[in-house]
Structure 1
Amino acid sequence: MSKDAGTPRVFLARHGETEWSANGRFTGTSEIPLTPHGELQVIGTGQKMAGPGKLIDPAKLVRIFVSPRQRAQRTLELLLPNNSTETEITNDISEWGYGKYEGLFSHEIRQGRKERGLDKERPWDIWIDGCEDGESPEQVTVRIDSLIARIREMQKDSMHGEKPADVLIIAHGHSLRAFTRRWLGYPLSFPLSVMLDPGAVGILSYQHRNINEPAMLLGMALPADK
């Protein structure tokens, strides 16, 4: 591979729409399937962005990490139908453990907490307060940091494209936003407002081809059709 092949990237793919993601329910461990529209979202993304010679090029992928949830695994099937890249199903990138808040709307969570005498000084914030009977920000940080450390180890010797080192992660709204914060070195409480639509792909990489300068890639030119 050419020395100008590019800095390794981490592609963040959110699963397609489910009934609960469409109406705003907190979906952690519940196995909610993709809607027909959600499947089309992923297929459309895959047709434009994934495959030989495209942005997510299997020839450049060294590993795929997927959440254990069925909606994430189905997303991989639709995004890369003929996937042959080594794939690992890992809880490190599973959705936030919502505990008592599973299946609820944000307003229901806040109302319930108010009734239990919580949040007297400020509104509930998952990035600071975590979830009752679920995960805290500290617990989410530990598992995501573990995955980041593994990815950096895979990529550290390929800052100039010496060998394929791109990574694809397929997961969920909160876990991917948490991953982004930690990739950049911020605590989960850091007020970094980022969005990732169902079926969409975000990109992380490194500045100056330096493993110690992780960065968010705000945009890049797409490969031309051949």
Structure 2
Amino acid sequence: MTTRLLLVRHGETEWHAENRYAGVTDVALTPRGVAQATDLGAWAVRAGVDAVACSPLSRARLTASPAAEVLGLAVEVQEGLKEVDFGWGEGRTIQEMADEDPEAVRRFREDADSGAFPGSEPVARAAERATASLRDLADRHQGDRVLVVAHNTLLRIALCELLGLPLGRYRRIFPRLDNGAVTEIEIRGPETALRSLNVPTAPPPAPAPGPSPAGD
């Protein structure tokens, strides 16, 4: 039986303006991030979501909560969906790291697996725990639509693993997942299909006022 997982990167955080690697650090949502969580809740109702799961980090929990509340569901917290620990890169920007060790940043940009930041979680280990969590959700919610709120790097690594793509190239294959946007995958037994990528959940803007069409 097919399960559809609706993968969502949490709402915008206070470190987004400087593009800092949050990793396992708990960082608060900005007001825009809170609004993205609210939009996601309204979207989840329209999408007919059957279950809600998220990473244990607060930015993911707060993004998932409005959807769970409006749907009358409990949030299933999955430890395996926690963001990658970036080690030496945690809390820093790429420019800060490049100023200190340009060769380390070059290796990371070339291959994010073999060139992972010193002290960071191995990409293969992150892929293993992330896909184990996603497959567990798919097995327990067969035939359902499951909203899964997690993180930019972890979800991109998981997508590569599930789709049979090179883990070290996750940054090039999936340059980014947008905050609050939905990437839908379909899991059927051992097979995974990508159905959509970075679909916004915010309602479309109202049309600008203008002259009434002729005949009205």
Q: Specify if TM > 0.5.
A: yes
Measured in 2, the distance between the counterparts of 1:90 and 1:25 equals 24
Q: Is the 8 A contact 1:148 1:183 kept in 2?
A: no
Q: Is the 8 A contact 2:104 2:115 kept in 1?
A: no
Change (3 A) 1:188 1:50: same
Aligned pairs for 1:38-49 (under 5 A) are 38-47=33-42, 49=43
Structure 2 unmatched ranges of 5 or more:
202-216
Of 174, 177, 183, which aligns to 2:153? 174
Measured in 2, the distance between the counterparts of 1:18 and 1:121 equals 27
**Alpha-carbon shift at residue 118 of structure 1 (Å):** 4.3
Measured in 1, the distance between the counterparts of 2:107 and 2:26 equals 35
Q: Deviations over 1:14-34 (max 9, x none)?
A: 111111023200001221111
Of 10, 17, 20, which aligns to 2:12? 17
Q: Which moved more, 1:189-198 or 1:119-128?
A: 119-128
Q: Deviations over 1:22-80 (max 9, x none)?
A: 32000012211111111112212332x211xx21x24xx2x432111111111111333
Percent of aligned pairs with the same residue?
26
**Alpha-carbon shift at residue 140 of structure 1 (Å):** 0.9
Task: Specify the alignment match of 1:109 in structure 2.
Answer: 97
Task: Specify the alignment match of 2:205 in structure 1.
Answer: none
Measured in 2, the distance between the counterparts of 1:122 and 1:93 equals 22
Q: Which moved more, 1:190-199 or 1:65-74?
A: 190-199
Cα RMSD of the aligned pairs, angstroms, is: 2.8
Measured in 1, the distance between the counterparts of 2:133 and 2:120 equals 20
Task: Specify the alignment match of 1:142 in structure 2.
Answer: 128
Aligned length: 197
Of 168, 177, 182, which aligns to 1:196? 177
Task: Specify the alignment match of 1:30 in structure 2.
Answer: 25
Task: Specify the alignment match of 1:214 in structure 2.
Answer: 192
Q: Is the 8 A contact 1:65 1:89 kept in 2?
A: yes
| Structure with greater helix share of residues | 2
TM-score (norm 2): 0.78
**Alpha-carbon shift at residue 121 of structure 1 (Å):** 7.1
Q: Deviations over 1:167-214 (max 9, x none)?
A: 2211111111112112212231244234321111111115xxx53431
Change (3 A) 1:80 1:119: closer
Structure 1 unmatched ranges of 5 or more:
1-5, 159-163
Change (3 A) 1:110 1:184: same
TM-score (norm 1): 0.75
Change (3 A) 1:165 1:37: same
Task: Specify the alignment match of 2:214 in structure 1.
Answer: none
Task: Specify the alignment match of 1:87 in structure 2.
Answer: 75
Measured in 1, the distance between the counterparts of 2:59 and 2:133 equals 20
SS in 2 for 1:134: coil
Change (3 A) 1:106 1:42: same
Change (3 A) 1:105 1:119: closer
